[in-house]
């Protein structure tokens, strides 16, 4: 049985994009968001051609491009400021340059598009738990005491997903014992040398990596950031640490004299109000992304966690969303929706696994190596499979609709 109305938990990037993709395929849906208004949080994210192709198909790319910073490569330098490697993140040959855009800009535009298409969004509706599920519907409860029913419930509610609790009641995301501290500063403050290309990661064997990434359409602002090992804290503990702005500034400046001058300039003047901190969690590989009856499913960060080496976390969430919408549009009398979900997860997991292999290759290339070592590990990556897929044809191949 195909779903006739879809409930989406979470009005973040994945949930809003799923709503637009379902609407494109004439599938009714409603989005439920715990917050009282659209999310206005988070820094900039990087979008690669595979995700931009999806956003373009849905009509969002043209709305965000003028508000984003375009680039084609990520650069990696040593502590002595020598160029070590570069990694392609976009190109005209893939149809799109890479974009770095503020998360709230993308959410604002996606929310506006959802409103324009008269797709219902209900704010202030915090999902609690699934009440019941049968072969044709699912019923769930909100924290305000109300319940709702739909033919399918999709959890697009992030790495700490409440919907995932229905599938895995005992599972919790795993803290990686690492966290990131970032700030934004004016690009002019860096005194970038002529010919010095950004975004760049400067790797120091004693102090770790320092990231500098332009944002805003004119590149007039950069994110600066570092990672560090850290013990696990509860939410209050993380909030207290973030509120200690001087600690964050001191960490960004720690060992700065062992970095090139561009880093020293970057941390010379940091606005405490432009600091962010976040702990890194991962989700272990899951046996299934949907319930046994197929009326509850999860996607994006709720279903899988992708380390940041290849910059594919949010980009793969968009792939989840778009391919799932095609499955919902194509599932019919010749195939049960539950079987469709199973095949979708298998094929999507195969692609996620391939990206994890790419991450391992990228991490290997960042390791120290002797000058006379030539193991072929620095050969250019073949990224056509990642950046230029035809998703519609891909799903047709999966299911032969």
Confidence category of residue 371, pLDDT binned at 50, 70, 90: very low
Overall pTM surpassing 0.75 (yes/no): yes
Residue 348 CB contacts under 8 Å (≥ 6 apart), including other chains:
289, 319, 320, 323
Residue ranges, CATH 3.30.9.30, the chain? 177-282
CB of 12 closer than 8 Å to CB of 39 = yes
Share of the chain above pLDDT 70, in %: 94
Which pLDDT value is given to residue 174?
A: 87
Lowest mean pLDDT among 40-44, 247-251, 275-279, 316-320: 40-44
How high is the pLDDT of residue 145? 97
Q: Which of 111-120, 169-178, 205-214, 224-233 has the highest mean pLDDT?
A: 111-120
User: Please, which residues have CB within 8 angstroms of residue 319's CB and are 6 or more apart in sequence?
Assistant: 50, 51, 54, 348, 351, 391
Residue 372: predicted pLDDT? 44
Can you tell me the mean pLDDT for 297-311?
Answer: 87
In the predicted structure, residue 169 carries a pLDDT above the cut 90: yes
Residue 335: what pLDDT?
Answer: 59
Look at residue 263 in the predicted model and tell me its pLDDT.
97
**The pair of three-digit structure tokens given for residue 156, joined into one six-digit string:** 């697009």
| Class (C level, CATH) for 6-69+104-173+284-368+379-395 | alpha beta
Predicted confidence (pLDDT) at residue 389 exceeds the cutoff of 70:
yes
Band (pLDDT 50/70/90 cuts) for residue 331 is low
Question: What pLDDT is attached to residue 225?
Answer: 94
- pLDDT averaged over every residue in the chain: 91
| Mean pLDDT, residues 178-189 | 94
Q: Which whole number is the average pLDDT over 369-376?
A: 47
- pLDDT (0 to 100) of residue 333: 46
Residue 199 has pLDDT above 50, yes or no: yes
Q: For a pLDDT cut of 90, what percent of the chain falls above it? A: 73
Number of Cβ atoms within 10 Å of the Cβ of 306? 21
What pLDDT score does 377 carry? 52
Domain limits, CATH 3.50.50.60, in the chain: 6-69+104-173+284-368+379-395
CATH class held by domain 177-282: alpha beta
Closest C-alpha to 341, from 131, 174, 128, 167 = 167
Q: pLDDT, tens digit, for every residue of 228-277?
A: 888 888 878 888 887 889 999 999 999 999 999 999 999 999 999 999 98
């Amino acid at each position: 049985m195909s779903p006739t109305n879809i409930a989406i938990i979470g009005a973040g990037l994945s949930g809003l994009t799923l709503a637009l993709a379902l609407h494109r395929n004439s599938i009714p849906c409603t989005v439920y968001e715990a917050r009282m208004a659209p999310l206005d949080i988070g820094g900039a994210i990087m979008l690669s051609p595979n995700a931009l192709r999806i956003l373009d198909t849905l009509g969002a790319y043209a709305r965000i491009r003028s508000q984003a910073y375009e680039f084609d490569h990520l650069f990696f330098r040593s502590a002595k400021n020598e160029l070590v490697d570069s990694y392609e993140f976009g190109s005209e040959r893939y149809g799109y340059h890479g974009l770095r855009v503020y998360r709230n800009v993308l959410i604002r535009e996606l929310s506006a598009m959802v409103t324009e298409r008269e797709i219902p969004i209900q704010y202030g509706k915090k999902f609690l738990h699934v009440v019941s599920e049968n072969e044709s519907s699912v019923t769930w409860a909100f924290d305000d005491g109300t319940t709702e029913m739909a033919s399918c419930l999709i959890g697009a509610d992030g790495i700490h997903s409440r919907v995932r609790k229905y599938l895995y009641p005992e599972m919790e995301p795993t803290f990686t014992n690492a966290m990131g501290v970032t700030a934004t500063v004016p690009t002019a403050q860096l005194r970038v040398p002529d010919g010095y290309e950004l975004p760049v990661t400067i790797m120091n064997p004693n102090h770790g990596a320092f990231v500098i990434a332009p944002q805003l359409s004119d590149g007039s602002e950069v994110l600066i950031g570092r990672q560090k090992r850290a013990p696990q804290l509860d939410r209050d503990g993380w909030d207290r640490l973030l509120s200690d702005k001087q600690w964050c500034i001191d960490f960004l400046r720690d060992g700065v004299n062992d970095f090139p001058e561009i880093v020293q300039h970057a941390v010379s003047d940091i606005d405490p109000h432009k600091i962010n901190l976040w702990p890194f969690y991962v989700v272990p590989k899951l046996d299934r992304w949907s319930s046994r009856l197929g009326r509850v499913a999860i996607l994006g960060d709720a279903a899988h966690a992708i380390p940041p080496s290849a910059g594919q976390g949010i980009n793969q969430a968009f792939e989840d969303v778009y391919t799932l919408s095609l499955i919902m549009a194509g599932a019919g009398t010749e195939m049960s929706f539950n079987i469709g979900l199973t095949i979708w997860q298998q094929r999507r997991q195969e692609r996620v696994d391939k990206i994890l292999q790419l991450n391992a290759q990228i991490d290997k290339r960042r390791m120290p190596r002797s000058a006379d070592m030539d193991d072929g590990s620095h050969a250019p990556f073949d990224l056509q499979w990642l950046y230029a897929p035809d998703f519609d044809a891909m799903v047709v191949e999966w299911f032969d609709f």
